[in-house]
């Protein structure tokens, strides 16, 4: 519950918000004017985060940045992002591409977990005795699931004797972003050169849209004479987050009443799941039909993006460089092997499963499973500037399926602490369970692959 209980003054909050905003402006200027960032499509928020890390207290000390507060912002922004995802209406299609990409995402999460934990166990038993084996489990959290989840789960492990786990999770996520954009763009540029595909439009490179190319981002569903529509949408998100707090606090109290105090940090680390469920319920039951037609998807989409930009910037700035440097070699080894095997698996799977748009599906998945879904969509645009293929939509829709089937993994990775008090045998058992779950997902994927006829595959792929 550390992120919830962290005491922050109003002055600190405003200064932090101002610093994050200023750094996002710096990132925007650098993206517009520096060819290096344009070439690799490095997002402004990532540039801002690394700029803050450089200018912060652990290096140059030029701007006031507190890592604990930045981590708390990451924690809360994660839940706000999941609330927006629950409010946003998505078209529920389960096409051939969506199903296979969904299975692929879950398989990669498990594969990264198995690789990371195996390497961490081997390193802790032979080379670095004070390396917690759970460090390896941070690989899928930081790579496949993103910085918010990596910090939220990681910081809950600190209550079980894994110090600085939240910061280490953010370090994995930061390295994952480097994989997504630099290794990913290297692959994209090689594909563009080899096949002569269209390059990405200049406004995508620079990040600035010119006059005449500025689409409408949202619509006003309320009269501004009564209330600002944006304020209503923000109020809805705030109300849902209040409900999330009440539910999470209630569950925590129940666990304490049952003598399960050790499980309380895990409940608080899953607050983003609770937030998403409450949001989905609000949209479906409380605000369904005409009662909820005032919710503008464009406004919700803009808010989702805003929260995500601040989350990414804050996640980089919350990294503890002293901890990252202390375990630099083991973490680098885990990331390099995990990233490379992720690349090889996707190379095999995308060309094995699909007959068309293999590269678009491959690069979108690689960027998403080392960065975020925004990373995947950004790289897809290089070879598919106008999203003419179905790959971008498949990537978005498959994420919902991956979240559902990936949830058992979130339960599994906590077992070494909640069930085995951090003992070595707990990590070994969880490693075996992940292998078994990967085999189960593989069988389900194979059964689906065999069930869909060849004719159905081709008709679905051609859309």
* pLDDT at 455 (0 to 100): 43
CA gap 339, 139 in Å, rounded: 9
- Looking up tokens 């689906």 gives 448
Name the band, by pLDDT with cuts 50, 70 and 90, for residue 292.
low
Here the tokens at position 165 are 């786990």
Residue 93: per-residue pLDDT = 54
Q: How far is residue 226 CA from its own chain's centroid?
A: 37
What band does 461 get if pLDDT is binned at 50, 70 and 90? very low
pLDDT recorded at residue 61: 86
Q: Which has more confidence, 293 or 73?
A: 73
pLDDT higher than threshold 80 for residue 443: yes
The model's pTM is: 0.87
> For 7-63, what is each residue's pLDDT tens digit?
888 999 999 999 999 999 999 999 999 988 888 888 899 999 999 999 988 888 888
Three-state secondary-structure class, residue 342? helix
Work out the pLDDT band at 198, boundaries 50, 70, 90.
low
What's the whole-number mean pLDDT along residues 379-391? 78
Residue 136: name the closest of 111, 159, 155 by CA. Answer: 111
Q: Which positions ≥6 away from 298 have C-beta within 8 Å?
A: 216, 217, 218, 219
> Percent of the chain, pLDDT > 70?
92
Of 103-112, 386-395, 427-436, 438-447, the one with minimum mean pLDDT is 386-395
What one-character-per-residue DSSP string does 176-245 give? HHHIIIIIHHHHHHHHHHHHTPPPPPHHHHHS-PPTT---------S-TTT--HHHHHHHHHHHHHHHHH
- 108-128: average pLDDT: 95
What is the predicted pLDDT for the residue at 434? 96
CB 49 within 8 A of CB 71: no
CA separation for the pair 182, 343 (Å, rounded): 13
pLDDT score for 92: 55
Per-residue confidence band for 458, with pLDDT thresholds at 50, 70 and 90:
very low
C-alpha to C-alpha distance for 233 and 17, rounded to whole angstroms: 20
Least confident of 157-166, 266-275, 321-330: 266-275
Question: pLDDT at residue 374 above 80?
Answer: yes
How large is the average pLDDT for residues 254-270? 79
Confidence band of 462 (pLDDT split at 50, 70, 90): very low
109 pLDDT higher than 90: yes
Tokens standing for residue 261: 């105090």
Alpha-carbon gap, residue 21 to 179, rounded angstroms = 26
What is the reported pLDDT for 282? 84
Distance CA 168, CA 135 (A): 8
Rg (CA), the chain: 22
Encoding tokens for residue 446? 């194979």
Residue 393: other Cβ atoms inside 10 A: 17
CA atoms 205, 211, 212, 214: torsion sign? positive
Residues 215, 231: Cα–Cα separation, whole Å = 22
Share of the chain above pLDDT 90, in %: 43
More confident call, 454 vs 145: 145
User: Taking 90 as the threshold, does the pLDDT of residue 298 lie above it?
Assistant: no
Using 50, 70 and 90 to split pLDDT, how confident is the model at 287?
low
DSSP tally for the chain: helices H, then strands E: 23, 0
Task: Report which of 245, 67, 275, 235 is spatially closest to residue 166, judged by C-alpha positions.
Answer: 67
For every residue of 121-168, DSSP letters joined together read HHHHHHT-TT--GGGGGHHHHHHTS-HHHHHHHHHHHGGGT-TTHHHH
Q: What is the pLDDT of residue 117?
A: 96
Q: What is the pLDDT of residues 388-434, one digit of tens each?
A: 788 887 887 788 778 788 888 888 999 999 888 889 999 999 999 99
Contacts made by residues 320-326, CB under 8 angstroms, sequence distance 24+: 320/58, 320/67, 320/164, 320/167, 320/171, 321/53, 321/58, 321/59, 322/58, 323/164, 323/167, 323/168, 323/171, 324/167, 324/168, 324/171
How far is residue 182's CA from residue 43's CA, in Å, rounded to a whole number? 12
Instruction: Please say whether the beta carbons of 395 and 373 come within 8 A.
Output: yes
Report residue 74: phi and psi, to 5°: -60, -45
């Amino acid at each position: 519950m550390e992120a919830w209980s962290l005491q922050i003054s109003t002055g600190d909050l405003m200064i932090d918000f101002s610093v994050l905003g200023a750094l996002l402006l710096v990132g925007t200027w650098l993206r517009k004017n520096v060819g290096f960032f344009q070439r690799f499509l490095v997002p402004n928020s990532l540039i801002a985060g690394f700029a803050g890390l450089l200018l912060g207290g652990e290096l140059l000390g030029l701007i006031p940045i507190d890592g604990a507060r930045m981590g708390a912002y990451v924690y809360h922004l994660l839940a706000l992002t999941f609330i927006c995802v629950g409010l946003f209406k998505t078209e529920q299609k389960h096409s051939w591409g969506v199903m296979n990409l969904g299975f692929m995402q879950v398989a990669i999460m498990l594969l990264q977990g198995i690789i990371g934990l195996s390497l961490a166990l081997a390193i802790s038993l032979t080379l670095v005795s004070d390396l917690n084996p759970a460090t390896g489990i941070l690989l899928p959290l930081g790579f496949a699931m993103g910085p918010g989840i990596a910090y939220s789960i990681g910081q809950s492990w600190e209550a079980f004797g894994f110090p600085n786990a939240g910061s280490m999770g953010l370090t994995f996520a930061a390295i994952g972003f480097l994989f997504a954009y630099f290794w990913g763009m290297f692959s994209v540029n090689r594909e563009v050169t080899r096949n002569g595909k269209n390059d990405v439009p200049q406004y995508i490179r620079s990040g600035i849209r010119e006059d005449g190319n500025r689409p409408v981002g949202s619509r006003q569903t309320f009269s501004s004479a009564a209330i600002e529509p944006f304020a209503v949408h923000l109020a809805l998100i705030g109300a849902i987050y209040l409900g999330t707090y009440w539910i999470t606090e209630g569950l925590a109290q129940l666990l304490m009443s049952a003598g399960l105090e050790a499980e309380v940090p895990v409940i608080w680390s899953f607050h983003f799941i609770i937030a998403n469920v409450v949001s989905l319920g609000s949209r479906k039951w409380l605000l369904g039909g005409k009662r909820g037609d005032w919710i503008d998807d464009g406004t919700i989409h803009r808010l989702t993006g805003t929260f995500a930009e601040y989350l990414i910037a804050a996640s980089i700035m919350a990294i503890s460089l002293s901890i990252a440097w202390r375990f630099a070699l083991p973490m680098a080894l885990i990331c390099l092997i995990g990233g490379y095997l992720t690349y090889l698996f996707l190379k095999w799977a995308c060309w094995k499963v699909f007959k068309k748009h293999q590269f678009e599906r491959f690069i979108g998945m690689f960027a998403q499973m080392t960065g975020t879904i925004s990373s995947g969509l950004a790289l897809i645009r290089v070879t598919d500037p106008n999203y003419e293929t179905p790959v971008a939509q498949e990537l978005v829709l498959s994420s919902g399926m991956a979240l559902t089937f990936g949830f058992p993994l979130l339960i599994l990775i906590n077992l070494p602490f909640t069930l085995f008090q951090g003992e070595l045998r707990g990590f070994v058992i969880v490693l075996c369970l992940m292998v078994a779950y990967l085999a189960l997902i593989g069988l389900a994927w194979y059964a689906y692959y065999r069930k869909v006829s060849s004719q159905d595959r081709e008709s679905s792929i051609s859309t």
